[in-house]
Amino acid sequence: MFRGRFSSSYGALGIDIGSRVVKMLQLRERSGELAVVGAASEPIPLDAEGKPDGEALSQRLRRTFVSGGFFGRRCVVSLPRSEVCLQSIRLPSMPDGELLDAAKWEAAQRFEFDREAMEVSVLRTGATTRSGELREEVLLIAASHAVIYRYLRPVVDAGLRPMAVDVDFCAAARIFSRQFRRESDRDQVRVVLEIGESGATVIILRGDQIAFCKSVGGGGRELNQAVAEHLQIATKASEELRASRLIAARQGRSAGGAHHDDKTDRAVFEAVRPILGDLVKEVTLCLRYYGVTFRGHPPFQLILAGGDGQEPNLDQMLHEGCKLPVVHDDQLTTLQSLTGQIGEIFGRDPGPPGCWAVAAGLSLRGLSDARQSLTIHQEPAARRGAA
């Protein structure tokens, strides 16, 4: 009622669980501007079988929460992208309740899940068939109860209160859509290529609505392996080599250049070029599909995001292949400002701004009125599963 230009609100604690690292970030909104309340990044402890150690993760989350400067215990959690099933399908036009029931049947058949042991969400994309059929294209998202509880239980055992389990691409879309939430912004179409360790995701946004989403290969793990094989070095050494190149590339854009070894640069690029080429082809195919499926304006911009989205030469390859201006996440003032604040908390470089996009979008849950407030799992069910 009294929310106005001088109001201040706290977002939820966003917990972005990746394949190897968990990021925790909480944002605060004051007079329309975002600020960091608390931030943390911790490696995920593994058991003897190489799987996440729930008890050790719970202890780490509890310790980090106490020392991280966070406000309140309500949180929103995202699962590793490899644990969430995503597919674009076409279904007859129907009301929301009937659409969700139909989506559950589709998920059980396509993903081979037990209907009673999974959570399903469906996201309308706004695309309809041009043939006159009363069918529409939707995004089908599903995760098994076993996976959800595997990652949710350590969060609850750490004393936190999950509001929802969200999906990474919806969280990323939320942060990249903050300036495009009006109905008149629906013609502002952008492509987001988010590249993380385990893979990449192509997202096409119309205003603040997700119109298209597809998971593709070409993540950091695949790039590291290609460098290790090409240069005949250990995987750990290839990870460190690529990490130093990504830092140099980011510093080069912000400071007008950074020192690097040209010979090593060329060797690494030769190793990863086939993978980058495949990524460009995937994005091109997604754009072509979008062009024949959706009416209206074409994308005007491609945003490179994610911890591995800074790969040198990828922006130029995308620009030439997709014929779109390409910008990096650190050129977007929202994320650039937030990572500056995170760096002050850490006392070190927190990594590329885009690697915090998912955690930031999770924290915005409750602050944002974006249309794509998709939830796989709501709080009551989460509590029952953790009880």
Task: Give backbone dihedrals phi and psi of 40, rounded to 5 degrees, phi first.
Answer: -160, 155
First to last CA, the chain: 35
Domain with CATH 3.30.420.40 in the chain: 180-331
**CATH number listed for the domain at residues 180-331:** 3.30.420.40
Domain with CATH 3.30.420.380 in the chain: 1-178+355-387
Comparing 59 with 336, which gets the higher pLDDT? 59
Q: Which of the four pLDDT bands, split at 50, 70 and 90, describes residue 197?
A: confident
C-alpha 269: how far from chain center: 25
- Give CA–CA dist 151/153, Å, rounded: 6
pTM for the predicted model, two decimal places: 0.85
Pick the CATH number of 1-178+355-387 from 2.60.40.1890, 3.90.1010.10, 2.60.40.10, 3.30.420.380: 3.30.420.380
Q: Residues 248, 259: contact at Cβ < 8 Å?
A: yes
- Name every residue whose Cβ is closer than 8 Å to that of residue 97 and which is 6 or more positions away in sequence: none
- Judge whether residue 380 has pLDDT over 50: no
- Judge whether residue 261 has pLDDT over 80: no
Q: Which of the four pLDDT bands, split at 50, 70 and 90, describes residue 43?
A: very high
Of 359, 47, 70, nearest in space to 196 by CA: 359
pLDDT per position as a tens digit, 76-104: 999 988 899 999 988 888 898 899 899 99
Burial 286-301 (b: 16+ CB within 10 A, else e): bbeebeebbeeeebee
Least confident of 122-126, 146-150, 183-187, 339-343: 183-187
Q: Residues 197, 221: contact at Cβ < 8 Å?
A: yes
DSSP-based helix, strand, coil % in the chain, nearest 5:
45, 30, 30
pLDDT per position as a tens digit, 15-34: 999 888 999 999 998 877 88
- Give CA–CA dist 171/10, Å, rounded: 17
* Range list of H helices, the chain: 54-67, 96-110, 145-157, 168-176, 220-231, 235-255, 262-293, 314-322, 333-346, 357-363, 379-386
Q: What per-residue confidence (pLDDT) applies to 256?
A: 45
